[in-house]
Amino acid sequence: MLVLTRKSDESIRIGDDIIIRVVEVKGNQVRLGIDAPKHFRIYREELYQKISRENRLSAMAGLDTFGKLKEVFRKS
């Protein structure tokens, strides 16, 4: 992991397309601004974890649900 120190209004660049700027530091919170192309999806870590968990649960439930739907349509 790369650890950098930045002050308000300073930024870091990732490649040619992504800039992360420190917008504000207030107490123990830091506000970051991220400038990146629209095709990059940017999530807070806790939201990314929740999406991943829901996707895994959905994929597992899909097989069971598909089998049940197959039975329902077979009877019709």
25-49 residue pLDDT tens: 999 999 999 999 999 999 999 999 9
**Residue 1 and residue 36 in one domain:** yes
Between these two residues, 70 and 54, which has the higher pLDDT value?
54
Number of separate domains in the chain: 2
User: 16 is written with which tokens?
Assistant: 């040619």
Domain that holds residue 56: 43-76
**Residue 35 and residue 63 in one domain:** no
* Angstrom distance (rounded) from CA 51 to CA 32: 22
Q: Is the pLDDT of residue 75 over 70?
A: no
**Residue 16 and residue 34 in one domain:** yes
**Residue 49 and residue 62 in one domain:** yes
**Residue 2 and residue 36 in one domain:** yes
For residue 12, what are the β-bridge partners? 20
**Residue 31 and residue 5 in one domain:** yes
